[in-house]
Amino acid sequence: MPPMAILKSIAALAACGVASANAAALEPRQYKTQVTSKALIDTLQIENLFAKAEILQEIAYSTPGKNRVIGSLGHEKTVAYIRSQIDTDYYDVSLQGVELSVGINATLTANNKTIEAYTTTLAPAGTAAGPLVAIPNLGCEEADFAESLEGKVALIQRGTCSFGIKVQLAAAKKASAVIAYNNAEGTLEGYSLQVFPDPAKPFVPTVGVTQGQGEALLAQLESGVAINVALTSEANLTTTYNVIAETKQGDHENVIHVSGHSDSVTAGPGINDNGSGTVSLLELAVQLTNFTVVNAVRFSWWTAEEAGLLGAEYYVKQLSQAEKHKIRLLLDFDMMASPNFAYQIYDGDGSAFNLTGPTGSAEAEHEFAAYFDGIGLNHTEIEFDGRSDYGPFLEAGIAAGGIAGGAEGIKTQEEFEMFGGGAGVPYDVNYHENGDTVNNLNLDAWIEFSRAIAHMTAKYAVSWEGIPSRNSTVSQKRSENYGVMKRAFQRTKRYQAWV
C-alpha cells in the first residue's frame, strides 16, 4: 500500500476531474530535444498516472455495467478517452474496427426447468430447442463428435482447448447450439469463445452454466433420462476499436511498437488488469510529444484482450509481410501495479522456461534486466507463453518483450525475499474481481514499471543498436519453433487452467 500522503494528494488531483487532465497539454511545441531514457523517465509522475487510472475507474463506474468490457459503454468511453489524449499533430491516430458478437441475455430450460445461464462472447444470437447430447472427453478433437448432431444441443465441459474450437467442431456436426459448463467453481459470466470468428468454421449459439449444473445434466443423461433443452441467446454485433498512434517523425521502416489493452473483464473496472498498462502507455505517449525521435514509435491499445487477444490478433492478421517487417520490436504491458507484485520480465531467451521468442526477444529481455540491475532492483522471469496481446506477434515471428507485476499466480518465498509483500498469496488477489480498483494498486511498483517502459521506448526510439537486424529466414524458423512450443505448452496444466 502507498503512504497515506500520496493518497491524499492524489485525491485532490482527482477532484479536478476529467477535463483538466487533458486539454491544453498537447499543443505542438516549437523546441524539442531528442528523447533520452533519462529525460522520458523524468516526465513520469505517479500522481499523473494515478489521475488517469481514476478517470478509467470513473468511466467504468459511470456506466450500468460498472466495467469496461468490450461492447459496453465503459469500453466505448475508454477508447474515446485514449483517443482524446493523443489527438495531436504529433501522432497519426487511427481507430481499427473489429466486429464481434457480444452477448446481452441468455435463457435456458431443461425439461421445462429453468437453469441460470450466461451468454458467451463471440457466439451468435439465436434460439434452439431439442434433445441434449453429452460430448465425451473435452470436445477438443473431431473424434469426440462421432455422430450427427442435427437438431440437437451439445453439452461440453470447459478445458484443454479454447471453447471456440469445441463449438466449431459441434457446429460442423450440425449441432443447433452448445451448452458450455465450467470445470471450476463459479459461473461463466463474461466467458468468451476465445477464437477469432472464421466464416469457414461458423459458431452456433452457446450459453454457459456452472460445473454443478453441467454435471447434474450429465448425470441424468448417463442414467438414461432424456433431456430436452430450449435456449435463447441474445447478442449484438458490435464494432469495437483498436487505437493506434504513430509518431509522424522517425523512421517508419524501423518501428518500436509499444502496446497494452483497453478493455476489462466483466467483474469490475479492471484498473490493474490492465488499466495500469493502458495508463502507463497513455502517459508516455502524451509525454513523448515534447521530444523528437529517430525511429517511429507506435502505440496501440488493443480491444478484446480479455475475450482472447482478439484485437491484437486482428491487427497482426491484416498486416502484410512487409508491414510485419517494419516492426523491429513489440513491447506489451499489462498489470503494472499488482498489489503483491514481482518485477517479472518475459523470458524471451527461453533461459527460464524454454519458450524462446523470435530473434530480438532475448535482447529485449536482457535490456529490461540491465535496466533493473542498473537501478538496483531485483527482477525475475515469466514464461513467454503468449498469454497476453504479444502472443499473435510471436506467432508472426515479430520480436517481442515486456514486463508484468503478476496476476493470480502465488508469490514464492524466494520472491518474497526479493520483492517483499506476502509469500504464499497471489500477486494480485483482486485479479478479475470487482476489487481491482484504484484503491488496490501498488503505486511504488507502478512507477518503477512505467519508468522501465519509458527506458525501453526512449532507447529504441533513438537507436536499434543491440537488437539484431531482421532476417526473414530466421524469423520464419523462429516462428515455426514458436508454433511447436506453443502446441506443447497447450498441453500443460497451466494453459488448461485459463482456456
Maximum distance among all alpha carbons in the chain?
79
Q: How far is the CB of 58 from ligand NAG (least distance, A)?
A: 21
CA 86 – CA 282 distance, rounded (Å) = 8
Least distance to ligand NAG, CB of residue 272, Å: 9
Count of CA atoms in the C-beta half-sphere (13 A) of 68? 34
Report how far residue 289's alpha carbon sits from residue 25's, in angstroms, rounded to the nearest whole number.
Answer: 10
Binding residues among 225-264 for ligand NAG as defined by CB under 6 A: 228, 236
Of the candidate spans 219-227, 278-286, 296-304, 352-360, the one that interacts with Zn ion by CB under 5 A turns out to be 352-360
Binder of ligand NAG out of 14, 46, 70, 286 (CB under 6 A):
286
Q: Are 234 and 205 in contact (CB under 8 A)?
A: no
66, 60 contact by CB (below 8 A):
yes
Binding partner at 21 among Zn ion, ligand NAG, none, C-beta below 5 to 8 Å by kind? none
Task: Choose the contact partner of 387 out of ligand NAG, Zn ion, none; CB within 5 to 8 A by kind.
Answer: ligand NAG
Helices 277-288 and 443-462, axial angle in degrees (round to 10) = 50
Indicate which of Zn ion, ligand NAG, none lies near residue 290 (CB less than 5 to 8 Å, by partner kind).
ligand NAG
Quickly list DSSP for 251-304: EEEEEEEEEEE----SSS--IIIIIIHHHHHHHHHHHHTTEE-SEEEEEEEES-
- Span 371-430, contacts to Zn ion by CB under 5 A: 381
351 binds Zn ion (CB under 5 A): yes
Task: Classify the C-alpha dihedral 226-227-228-233 as positive or negative.
Answer: negative
Question: Is residue 105 within the footprint of ligand NAG (CB under 6 A)?
Answer: yes
349 lies in the site for Zn ion, by CB under 5 A: yes
Least separation in angstroms between residue 145's CB and ligand NAG is 26
- Alpha carbons within 13 angstroms on the beta-carbon side of residue 221 total 20
30, 94, 300, 422 from 291: Cα distances, Å: 10, 21, 19, 40
Which residue out of 54, 246, 283, 305 is catalytically annotated?
A: 305
* Chain CA centroid to CA 276, Å: 12
Q: How far is the CB of 351 from ligand NAG (least distance, A)?
A: 11
List, as one string, the DSSP characters of 68-106.
Answer: --TTSHHHHHHHHHHHHHH-STTEEEEEEEEEEEEEEEE
Residue 321 binds which entry of ligand NAG, Zn ion, none, CB below 5-8 Å type-dependent = none
Per rule CB under 6 A, is residue 376 in the interface with ligand NAG?
Answer: yes
**What minimum distance in Å lies between the beta carbon of 353 and Zn ion?**
8
Q: Residue 305 catalytic? A: yes
Residue 471 touches ligand NAG, criterion: CB under 6 A:
yes
Residue 381 CB, shortest distance to Zn ion, in Å, is 5
| Cell numbers found for residue 281 | 502507455
Residues 287-346 interacting with ligand NAG (rule: CB under 6 A): 287, 289-290, 305-306, 334-335
How far CA 377 is from CA of 152, 343, 368, 374, 425, in Å, comes to 58, 8, 11, 8, 21
- The string of DSSP codes covering 97-138 is EEEEEEEEEEEEEETTEEE--EE-BTPPPEEEEEEEEEPSTT
Contacting residue, 273, 283, 313, 363, with ligand NAG by CB under 6 A: 273
Candidates 40-48, 205-213, 226-234, 346-354; binding stretch for Zn ion (CB under 5 A): 346-354
**How many amino acids of this chain bind Zn ion (CB under 5 A)?**
5
Binder of ligand NAG out of 25, 172, 184, 375 (CB under 6 A): 25
Q: What angle do CA 269, 235, 271 make, to 5 degrees?
A: 10
Helix, strand, or coil (residue 62): coil
The entry of ligand NAG, Zn ion, none near residue 448 (CB within 5 to 8 angstroms by kind) is none
Mark the segment that binds ligand NAG (CB under 6 A) among 126-134, 198-206, 442-450, 481-489: 481-489
354 binds Zn ion (CB under 5 A): no
> How far is it, in rounded angstroms, from Cα 259 to Cα 62?
26
Piece in contact with ligand NAG (CB under 6 A), picked from 104-112, 182-190, 250-258, 434-442: 104-112
Distance of alpha carbon 315 from alpha carbon 400, whole angstroms:
15
Give the residue numbers marked as catalytic. Answer: 305
- What is the binding site for ligand NAG (CB under 6 A)? 25, 104-105, 107, 111-112, 228, 236, 265, 273-274, 286-287, 289-290, 305-306, 334-335, 354, 376-378, 387-388, 404, 407, 417-418, 432, 471, 473-474, 484-485, 488
Residues contributing to the site for Zn ion (CB under 5 A): 347, 349, 351-352, 381
